[in-house]
Amino acid sequence: MRPGQIAAKTFMDIKFPKGHVGVKSFDAELIDQEGNSIPSYETYLHHWFAIKYIQNITMSVNPKFHHPEDLIFQRNEGTCNGYILPHYWGFGVESRGTTSNIPNPFAIEQGSPIKIPNGYEEKWLLNIMAIDTRGAKHKKGCTECRCNHINLPKDFYNVTKDMHNQPLTTDYKGGLFCCQDNVQCKLREGFQGPRRKLSLRYKISWVDWNKYQVPVKAEYTIPANGSGDFHVQTTHIPMKKGGYLIYGTSHMHSGVVNATLYGQDGRILCTSTPKYGIGKEAGNEKGYVIGMSVCYPEPGSIKIKDGEILTVESRYKNEFRTGVMGHFYIYLADKLSQRY
Whether 179 maps to a domain, the answer reads: yes
Whether 340 maps to a domain, the answer reads: no
- Alpha-carbon distances of 278 from 129, 160, 285, 288, 290, rounded to whole Å: 24, 39, 6, 8, 10
Whether 148 maps to a domain, the answer reads: yes
Strand 220-223 relative to strand 303-304: parallel, antiparallel, unpaired? unpaired
Using alpha carbons only, what angle is made at residue 125 by residues 64 and 45, rounded to the nearest 5 degrees?
125
CB of 294 within 8 A of CB of 103?
no
pLDDT value at residue 211:
55
Amino acid found at 251: H
Whether 118 maps to a domain, the answer reads: yes
With b for 16 or more beta-carbon neighbours within 10 A and e for fewer, the 254-291 pattern comes to: bbbbbbbbbbeeeeebbbbbbeebeeeebbbbeebbbb
What is residue 143's three-state secondary structure?
Answer: helix
Whether 339 maps to a domain, the answer reads: no
CB within 8 Å of 292: residues ≥ 6 apart: 91, 94, 97, 98, 249, 250, 251, 252, 259, 272, 273, 274, 275
Whether 106 maps to a domain, the answer reads: yes
Domain count for the chain, please give it: 1
Spans of the chain, pLDDT less than 50:
213, 216-227, 340
Question: Whole-model pTM?
Answer: 0.88
How do residues 218-248 score in pLDDT, each as one tens digit?
433 334 444 467 788 888 888 888 999 999 9
**Domain span including residue 73:** 5-333
pLDDT value at residue 80:
64
Rounded CA separation 155/263 (Å): 46
How do residues 294-326 score in pLDDT, each as one tens digit?
999 999 999 999 999 999 998 888 777 776 777
Amino acid found at 195: R
pLDDT value at residue 233:
83
Whether 36 maps to a domain, the answer reads: yes
